[in-house]
Structure 1
Amino acid sequence: MDAVIIAAGYGSRLRDLSDSKPLTPVCGVPLIELGVRQAHAAGARRVTVVTGHEAARVESFLADLAQRSGIPILAERVSDWSRPNGFSVIAGAARVAQAGGRDFLLMMADHIFSAEILHRLAREGGSDRGVTLAIDRRVDNPLVDPDDATWVRTDEQGRIRAIGKTISPYDAVDCGAFLCTPELPEAIAEAIAAGAAGSLSDGMQRLADKGRAATMEIAGAWWLDVDDPRAHALAEAQAPGQLAALYG
C-alpha cells in the first residue's frame, strides 16, 4: 500500500508561526515528518508528498528525511498550488500509479492522528467502495474548528450522502484521512470536466452520489487539524502523549 500526503497549499492561517505549513514544527518535529512517519507506521511502504508552495524547501527536507528514516519518499510538485486540493490528489495518485501502486492512504499535511485511526483505516478496503473516509461523530468535539471543518451527512449504513463545509444537516466531521482507490481521482477529474472547481470534496460527493463513498468511525480516537495558532498550541500540548512512538 502507498500513501499520498497533500502538502502544496499556502497555509495562510499559520503564517504568523511559519512560512511553510508542512515544515511547521510540533514539539520540534515538522508536520510533514509526522505525517510520513504516521503513514509508514500504518503500513504504507512508500509515501508520495505533493508539493507546491515552498516546494524546493519541502522537497529538500523530504530527501533528508528519506535518507535518515529509510522510508521511500517521492515528491510530486504541482505547477499551480493555488488550485483546489483535488488537483493535488490527482497528481499524487498519478505518481502512485507510475510507481506501480494502486490504492493509497490519503492524508493532509496538517492533520495528525493517534496510531489506531490510520492503522484501522488502512484495512478498511473492499469491492463495495471507491473510498473510505475516517469520520468523527463528535460534531461538538472541542478540538474541531467549526468554521473550517468539512462536514459529512451519512445514511443508515454509514455511507456518505453529502460532504462539504456548508452542508446542513450533518452528523459527522471529516477527519482528513482516506483510504482511496483510483475511483477518487477519476471522480475529481469527472467533477472538473462537469464544471466543478476541483476540490477533494467535489470528487467525494460524486462518489457519494454513486453509493461508492464509505466511512469508518474513529470511535473517540484522537486527531487534530493543525491549521491555525490555536490548533498548533493544542498540538504542542497534546501530541507528544498521543504520538509517543513517533516522537521516540
Structure 2
Amino acid sequence: MKCLIVAAGQGARLREKGELKPLISIKGTPLIERVIGRARDAGVDEFVVVSGYRGAELRSHLDDFSAREQVRTTHVVNDEWDRANGVSLLKAKRHLDEPFLLTMCDHLVDPEIFRSLMAAPFEPETVTLAVDFNIDNPLNDPEDVTRVKCSDGRIEHIGKVIRDFNAFDTGVFLCTPIMFAALEESQANGDDSISGAMNVLARWRKARVFDIGSHPWVDVDDPIAFGKAERLLESGQL
C-alpha cells in the first residue's frame, strides 16, 4: 500500500527548531524520516510526498534518504503551498488510484496505528480517519488539534473550533479515491482543507472512524509538542 505524506507547509510555529519543518531533527533524526520509518514498520512499501515550501531542498534530502534506505518515493510539487492542506492531496491525485494511507510530515504515531488501520475492514468508496477518544489526555492540546464528532462509527462533523466533539483527529487516514471527489466538492464550496473534504464525506455518509485506543501520537506543531515528542522517544513509548 502507498502512503501519501503532506509536507508542503511552512511550519512557522516550529521555526525556532529549524528552517524546514520536515527536516527538523528530533533525537537525531529528521521528522519526516521518523514518519516514513513508522509507516514502513507497519508494512507500507511506497511513499508519495507532497513538497512545497523550500521544496527543492526537501526533495534533494529525500532522494538521498530513499537511495540510502531503499525507499520507493514519488515526489509531487505543490506550488500553492500557502493554501490549505487539501490542495496538496489534489496535486497527488494522478498517483493514487487505489486505497492509500494519508498522514502528515509532523505527526509522530505509534506504528501500530498504521498497522491496525490497514488491517481493519473498510467499505469501498469511504475514507476512514484514525481518531483518539482520549480527549482528556494532556499529550495533545485540545485548543490546537482538530476535533471530531463521531457517532456509530461515522463522522458527523470535524473542525478546529467545533464545540460538540468526542474525539481528536490524529492526522492518519485510510483513503479510497473518493477522497478526491470530496476535496473537489469542498474546494468548489470555498474550503481547501482536508477537514472540509471530510465534512463533505460525512454528508455523503462516507466518512468512517477508527479508534486508536491507547496508542500514542503527537502532532509536532510547536515547541511544546516537540518537547513532549522528545520525552516519549526517550522513554521508548513512541
Secondary structure at the counterpart of residue 122 of structure 1: helix
Q: Residues 128 and 76 (structure 1 numbering): CA distance in 2 closer, same or farther, change over 3 Å? A: closer
Look up the match of 1:178.
Answer: 173
Structure 2 residue aligned with 1:131, among 127, 130, 153? 127
Counterparts of 1:54-69 in structure 2, within 5 Å, are: 54-69=54-69
Structure 1 residue aligned with 2:118, among 112, 116, 122? 122
Tell me, yes or no, if the aligned pair for 1:51 and 1:77 is still in contact at 8 Å.
yes
Look up the match of 1:147.
Answer: 143
Look up the match of 2:206.
Answer: 212
Query: What TM-score do the two structures reach when normalised by structure 2?
Result: 0.96
Identity %: 39
Tell me, yes or no, if the aligned pair for 2:96 and 2:177 is still in contact at 8 Å.
no
Q: Residues 232 and 152 (structure 1 numbering): CA distance in 2 closer, same or farther, change over 3 Å? A: same
Q: What is the alpha-carbon distance in structure 1 between the residues aligned to residue 196 and residue 190 of structure 2?
A: 7
Q: What is the alpha-carbon distance in structure 2 between the residues aligned to residue 130 and residue 30 of structure 1?
A: 32
Look up the match of 1:24.
Answer: 24
| 1:128 Cα deviation after fit | 5.3
Q: What is the alpha-carbon distance in structure 1 between the residues aligned to residue 123 and residue 143 of structure 2?
A: 35
Structure 1 residue aligned with 2:217, among 215, 219, 223? 223
Secondary structure at the counterpart of residue 16 of structure 2: coil
Q: Residues 94 and 57 (structure 1 numbering): CA distance in 2 closer, same or farther, change over 3 Å? A: same
Q: What is the alpha-carbon distance in structure 2 between the residues aligned to residue 95 and residue 128 of structure 1?
A: 19
Q: What is the alpha-carbon distance in structure 2 between the residues aligned to residue 129 and residue 76 of structure 1?
A: 24
Secondary structure at the counterpart of residue 13 of structure 1: helix
Counterparts of 1:69-108 in structure 2, within 5 Å, are: 69-97=69-97, 102-108=98-104
Q: Residues 204 and 2 (structure 1 numbering): CA distance in 2 closer, same or farther, change over 3 Å? A: same
1:190 aligns with 2:185: yes
Q: What is the alpha-carbon distance in structure 1 between the residues aligned to residue 32 and residue 148 of structure 2?
A: 26
Q: What is the alpha-carbon distance in structure 2 between the residues aligned to residue 233 and residue 175 of structure 1?
A: 18
Q: Residues 186 and 125 (structure 1 numbering): CA distance in 2 closer, same or farther, change over 3 Å? A: farther
How many residue pairs align between the two structures? 237
Tell me, yes or no, if the aligned pair for 1:107 and 1:178 is still in contact at 8 Å.
yes
Unmatched 5+ residue regions in structure 1?
A: 244-248
Tell me, yes or no, if the aligned pair for 2:39 and 2:111 is still in contact at 8 Å.
no
- Code of the residue aligned with 2:28 in structure 1: it is G
Counterparts of 1:41-52 in structure 2, within 5 Å, are: 41-52=41-52
Secondary structure at the counterpart of residue 197 of structure 1: coil
Query: What TM-score do the two structures reach when normalised by structure 1?
Result: 0.92
| 1:124 Cα deviation after fit | 2.7
The RMSD of aligned alpha carbons is: 1.3
- Code of the residue aligned with 2:214 in structure 1: it is G
Q: What is the alpha-carbon distance in structure 2 between the residues aligned to residue 95 and residue 123 of structure 1?
A: 22
Q: What is the alpha-carbon distance in structure 2 between the residues aligned to residue 169 and residue 65 of structure 1?
A: 42
Unmatched 5+ residue regions in structure 2?
A: none
Q: What is the alpha-carbon distance in structure 1 between the residues aligned to residue 221 and residue 128 of structure 2?
A: 23
- Code of the residue aligned with 1:219 in structure 2: it is G
